Each structure stands twice: as structure tokens, then as C-alpha cells.
Amino acid sequence: MELKIGDKAPDFEQKDQNGKLIKLSDYQGKKVILYFYPKDDTPGCTAQACNLNDNLSSINEAGYEVIGVSVDSEKAHQKFRTKYGLSFTLLSDEDHKVVDAYGVWVEKSMYGKTYMGTARTTFIIDENGIITDIIAKVDTKNHTDQILKQQ
């Protein structure tokens, strides 16, 4: 099932970088930027995370919480957050439940080889859990601008 603007965002329960269980429903009443990225500590994913982190005060002032999701382990997330001083939650989706629920675990190709991976996609979710925007063409270095100009 492909999610669309206006759909209810699928709830999930997954561990963050510290092993704490996080549910989307925990954020009821808050706006959420739920962003999916392929891998910790790679150039594009680092640029995206740092752009969001560098602009976190503007994002929070606009009323948003940021949650990053990848299929990396909790330990990889801890190292990534520490290395770049990231201040927002990163969820470990090693069992692919969240990437599957949001339809972002897709076939990709590089150098003529196909493989399964996470499509870099951001879902903007309102206070009632409704998807208000989906950003599929993410500009990793200017992602905050993409998000805030939509609002």
C-alpha cells in the first residue's frame, strides 16, 4: 500500500538509539518530521542529519519533533549521534517493520546491480497523525528548507 497525503500515518513501536521503545502514538498532539534514510555515517545521510540538527531550533519553533529511521542498529545510531552531535531521536528498524509500513523499503540499483534498500523519504505528520506532506526528492544539504517551506 502506498501512503498518500491525507492518510493516517501508520503507528509503530521501535527502539531508539538508547534501546527505549518509541511509538508514533507517543507524539499524538505534536507535529512530527519522520524521515527515512539509507545508512548512518554515509555522505548523503550525514549531510541530511546535520542539516536537520543545525536547524533544530527553527524546526522546533515551527512545532515539529524530528525522528530519523534507518535499518541500522542501535549501536550504529549511538555512534552516529555522538560523532555529529545529533540531538533528535533515531529509530533502529532492523526488522524492517517501519520501512515496510511506510513503503520505503524498495528495490534500488547501483553500478548495474539491484538490491533492496531504504528510499530517502520524509513524511510530515500533523498533530492528529495525518500525513500532510511527503518529500520523496530530498535535498540532503537543504532539507530543513524543503520541510519548512511546505508549512
Catalytic residue among 24, 45, 98, 99: 45
CA–CA gap between residue 146 and residue 52 (Å, rounded): 11
50 among known catalytic residues: no
Rg value, the chain, Cα: 14
Span between the terminal Cα atoms of the chain, in Å: 26
Instruction: Count Cβ atoms below 10 Å from residue 85 Cβ, excluding itself.
Output: 9
145 touches 33 (CB < 8 A): no
Residue 2 to residue 41: CA distance in whole angstroms? 28
| Active centre residues (catalytic) | 45
